[in-house]
Each structure stands twice: as structure tokens, then as C-alpha cells.
Amino acid sequence: MNVHQVSPTNPKPQPVSGEQGALLRTLYNLWPFIWPSDRRDLKIRVALATLLMFLAKAATMAVPFTFKWATDALAVSEGATENISWVGWALAAPLALTVAYGFTRVVMALITQARDGMFAKVAMHAVRRIAVITFEHMHLLSLRFHLERKTGGLARVLDRGRLGIETISRMVILQLLPTVVEVAMVAAVLLYVFDWRYVAVITVTVTLYTVYTYYATEWRIGIRRRMNDSDTEANTKAIDSLLNFETVKYFNSEERESKRYDRSMQGYEEASVKSYTSLAVLNAGQAVIFTVGLTGVMAMCVMGIRNGTQTVGDFVMINAMMIQLYQPLNLLGMLYREIKQAVIDIEAMFRILTRDLEIEDRPGALPLVVTKGAVKFENVVFAYDAARPILRDISFEVPAGKTVAIVGPSGAGKSTISRLLYRFYDVSGGRITIDGQDIRDIKQSSLRQAIGMVPQDTVLFNDTVRYNIRYGRWDATDAEVEKAADMARIDTFIRMTPKGYDTEVGERGLKLSGGEKQRVAIARTILKAPPILLLDEATSALDSHTERDIQDALDTVSQNRTTLVIAHRLSTIIGADEIIVLEHGRIAERGTHAVLLASGGLYASMWNRQREADEAREKLAMIGDTDEQPNRNPPLSEQNTLDTTASLSGGTPVEADAAE
């Protein structure tokens, strides 16, 4: 079942709207994870934690009473200890009640800690489950979402959201409910032991305290939101700059990047100072309100002692009870602040979770059944934006086992065709079929399993070479991984490195040259062994020498497979069974290489321009070779081997392509 589908065991958060609505909706959305319908053991933990909470509060209420009794007993026996032995005095009420006071405090602490430990598994299970659901949902979102996102900002949103979920899930059960129970029990005890006037003073104090806390916290929420926005902006700029480390170096822009980051951190600094200042104002106001209430009830008790209606023990008891009441009241203020702040932190995560999936499997979608692997575009129309069409009435077929190439000027819609075939987007009109099956009617997982992609810009995981090749098929053995690398003509190079297949490739594979990354991409596609192959300008950014090596490897991969090639360099698709030329989103020409050259149209013009450019580069290279001193540099093949070996062994990454 997809994570975005709603079910009793797989709930989906609902959209949030407004601050008050967001708070209530957040609590509503979290409840299925705190009380999961499919986890009886966690429900039992919640029930036991609740029971322990009531026992802890009962012990809490007993503490002031034992303090009162011990004080009164000590006052009564103060003048009667001269004729009593030490053993008798030890067994007398004052010492016994003092021990009882200490015992009740120990019991209260032990039960409270047992409750926290009991509930910990529930809280962390909720954090883990929501984090996984969010991660899976993000992978289900369309390519449009991921092209628009900012990686650094999104990472901070997810991190703060996870912490916010932990805060709310723990505080609601462990803090909010116990606080409400304790305030109610204190009011009941005061009414029973004293009279309604004490309850009235406490009620006014708690009411003023709560109202002040509410408005002060609402004021602080806006400050916290600005602080989070500044933090997200600074983190986004930092990650974006580090991901573009080479570009920063190319343009000598370290100082500019530092100033750009510092401007963002300045905003965060100012918002943080305001946040801490506002917290001081909040805490000061809370302390004043509670101290006035505490002084009032103690003054009333002093008058009662003077009138003979109260005892010194009552005075000690009312003081102890008010001090105990201050703790949950202080937690109540903190609790409200933390919940509100946590809602701010997780509402962005919930917006991701509630974002509709642009591309979904239709109800009843069946797996793709590949018999031959023929791909067909029938009157396909597509636009990223309705006001700007990209493809207009595109129709062509890639017969089983044949190779069809798509060429054309930049912006003609070539790469869009590959994205539509992978169903990163759905067509606006027409349809795409594989062996007669509309790809919108089949499961996306089975569609992508049947297609092997070698992209123009290969991005690798920051892991080993073996890990990146095995990404094509996780159950492949080491021998199969190495065989795929050999077919991609990279096995020899890998074995020359100190760690071989366990060599780390670095962030996005930056320790490898462009040609080596392409060979890794080809190797994992070989390992996947798909019936349909999609090559999206796989050699457009490579030099002629590397291009020939990569092209030979691609020819090996595409044998006996249905192959669609998105080409920039026309020399790589001379042998295609058909070449389709796109212009302004329409098919301008189609035919074999020879036929298109003979027609003298757009394809012939593109071919001639590329040949002229290649010839000019060759002449410049020849001039450079003539001017060079003999034996100044090692042969080109040695340069490539030395440069790339150094990069993989931990030295400075040197692009072999750049050297060429």
C-alpha cells in the first residue's frame, strides 16, 4: 500500500489552516501514531503510563500532608522530650512522619521515572513512523516537486519536524494531562482542608497565569517563526554553496559566499536575540503573578494561625503545596510554548505529507508485461505550463530490438520525451505504450523496472564503487557486479585503485572523472539488464576520445534491446535504425543518417556544423602538439590513469576530461 493512502494502520495527516487550526489538526494527526491500531503492545504502554501518572500525582498530593503532620507533631512534642528515651523519641510521631515524608517523595520520583520510561517507546515509534512515511512520500512526489525544492531548506524542515513530533508526542501524555490533573487535585485539597477563599485565590492566580502565558506565547510565536525562517535560509545558502564548491573556486568567490552566508546568519542572530528577550519577559511575568498568589494564601494562613483556626503545619503545607503547584504551572507555560513552537516546526512537514501526488497508479493498475519491448508515442502533447507547450503531436515507434535516436536543437523537447517515457510526468494528450499497454494504466514500479537509463549527468551516491554499480540490482553477487563493470570497460581502472571496488567515490561522485561516472552508470544499467534502454545524451559532455570509449560500451549494452537515444552529438547515432529530428516540439524530419544527409534539411545543417567544430578543434590540437616541448608531459592515456587514480586514492580529484 502506498503511504499516501488513508487506512486505519496507515493514517495520512490532514491539511492545516491557520495557527489555531494547525494546533488542533496537528494533535489530531498525531493521535493515530500515539495510539496505533495495529500495535496492541504500544496501546498497553500508553494505558500503563496513564495509570502511573495518576499514581504519581496521588503520591505528590501526599507529600505536603506528611510535611504538615511531621511539623505539627514536632511542634506538639517540642516540650515533652526531656523524660523520653532516645528509642522512644525515634519511634515517636515527628521522626516517623519525617521518614514518611521522605518515602513519599521517593515513591513520587520513582513512579514518574517509570512512567517516562514506559512511554518512551511509544513516542519514539511515532517519530520513526512519521519520519519514514514522510521520506517515502517525498520519493512518490513528482519530478516537478524535486526540481523546485531547495535541498538545504528541506533538510532543516524535516529535522525540525522530527524533533517537533517527538516534543508533542511526549508532552501531551507526560506533561499536559498530568498538569491538568494536578491543578484539579490541588484545588480539591485546598477546599477540603481550608475553605473556599483559598480556592478562589488559587483560581484567580492560575487564570491570570494562564491568560498571561497565552498572550505572551502568541507574541513569541511570530518571533520564533522569523528565527526559523532565518535559520532555514542560512542553512540553504550554506549547503547550496558547499554543493557548488568547484564553481565557487572557479570564480574566486569565497569571500562573496561568506558575506552571503553572514547576511543570513545576521537575520538569525537578530531573531534569536528577540526570542531570548521575549522569553525573559514571559518568565518574569509568570514569576510575579505566581508570587503574588503564593503570598496571598500564606498571609491568609498566618491570619488563621493567629486566630487559632490553623496550625503551623497548615502553614508549611500550604507553602509546600503552592511550590508543588508552581512546577506544573511553569510546565504548563512551557508546554504551551513548546507545543506551539513544535507545530510551527512540523506544519511544513505536514504540508509535504498532504501534498497530492501528481503521478499516481490508477486503481486496479496491473504490472507491465513486456513481450517484445516495442515503444510507441501516439499523438503525444505535453506542456510543463499550459501557456508554453513543449511537445506537439509527436508520433513515432521504437520497434523491439531496434534503435531510434531523437535529435534537435536545445529546447526542442528531447529530454522531455525521456521523462514522459519514465512517467515522471503524464502526457497532456495522446498516449505512450509499451507492447500496446498504455503506461498510465500500469504500475510505475514495473514500468521503471523495465527501462534502463544512462543519463546525461550521472550523479553517484557518496559510497563505494561497488555500492553504486550494485544499485542496478541489489541481489547481484560480487562476481556479477564485476562482470558488469568489465562490460562497461571500467573494471581494469577500478582494480588499479588502492581499494578497488571498495573505493569511495565522494559527494555526487566528484572523485571520478565524467567518463568514469558514465561507465559506472553503464555498468549498473548492464547489471539491471532491462529490455528497454534509454540513453539521454549520455556522451554530450565528454571529449572525443572518452566519447568513443563510452560509445563502444553503450553499443555493447544496447545489443538486442529496444533502445531510445536522446542525442546531442550526431556522430554517436549514425548507426541508428531511425533518426527523428525535433524542432519547436514537432517532428521536423525522420529517416536514417544517409537519408537525412541527402535531404539537406535541419539534420544535415546540424551535422555540418558539428563537423566544422570538430575539425577546428583538431587543428588547434595539432598546433598545440607542435608547439609543445618533447616529453614535457606523459602520454594522454597515462595522464588519465594517473589523474583518476590519484583522485580515487584520496588525492585531489582531477577530471581526465578536462586534461584532454
Helix axis angle, 196-243 relative to 177-193, nearest 10°? 160
Q: Is the pLDDT of residue 145 over 50?
A: yes
Are 265 and 238 in contact by the 8 Å Cβ rule? The answer is no
Distance CA 244, CA 514 (A): 16
> Same domain for 347 and 379?
no
> By mean pLDDT, which of 297-311, 397-411, 510-524 is the weakest?
510-524
Q: Return the top range by mean pLDDT from 192-196, 293-297, 356-360, 512-516.
A: 293-297
Are 343 and 26 in contact by the 8 Å Cβ rule? The answer is yes
Alpha carbon of 115 to those of 21, 109, 123, 560: distances in Å? 30, 10, 12, 65
Segments of 256-388 assigned E as strands: 375-382
Distance CA 517, CA 471 (A): 14
Residue with C-alpha cell 500508553? Answer: 46
**What nine digits make up the cell of 181?**
490533573
Distance CA 415, CA 406 (A): 9
> Same domain for 266 and 394?
no
Q: Mean of the per-residue pLDDT values for the chain?
A: 76
> Same domain for 439 and 330?
no
> Same domain for 203 and 107?
yes
Average pLDDT on 632-655 reads 37
What is the pLDDT confidence band of residue 431, given thresholds at 50, 70 and 90?
A: very high
Q: Is the pLDDT of residue 637 over 90?
A: no
Average pLDDT on 546-561 reads 73
Q: Is the pLDDT of residue 535 over 70?
A: yes
**Residue 290 located in a structural domain:** yes
Q: Is the pLDDT of residue 379 over 90?
A: yes
Q: How many domains does the chain have?
A: 2
Q: Is the pLDDT of residue 657 over 50?
A: no
**Residue 6 located in a structural domain:** no
**What nine digits make up the cell of 14?**
490532514
> By mean pLDDT, which of 91-95, 132-136, 210-214, 305-309 is the weakest?
91-95
CA-closest candidate to residue 94, choices 111, 64, 79, 74: 74
Distance CA 446, CA 517 (A): 26
Distance CA 573, CA 43 (A): 63
| CATH number of the structural domain spanning residue 230 | 1.20.1560.10
**Residue 162 located in a structural domain:** yes
Alpha carbon of 331 to those of 11, 244, 292, 334, 345: distances in Å? 30, 45, 19, 5, 20
Are 450 and 368 in contact by the 8 Å Cβ rule? The answer is yes
Distance CA 45, CA 32 (A): 15
Q: Is the pLDDT of residue 15 over 80?
A: no
289 contact partners, CB below 8 Å, separation of at least 6: 205, 208, 209, 212
> Same domain for 198 and 111?
yes
State the residue range of the domain holding 592: 374-450+549-605
Distance CA 409, CA 71 (A): 94
**Residue 498 located in a structural domain:** no
Q: Return the top range by mean pLDDT from 137-146, 553-562, 630-639.
A: 553-562
> Same domain for 393 and 305?
no
Phi, psi of 522 (to 5 degrees): -65, -40
Q: Is the pLDDT of residue 81 over 50?
A: no
pLDDT of amino acid 542: 58
Q: Is the pTM of this model over 0.85?
A: no
Q: Is the pLDDT of residue 155 over 70?
A: no
Are 358 and 146 in contact by the 8 Å Cβ rule? The answer is no
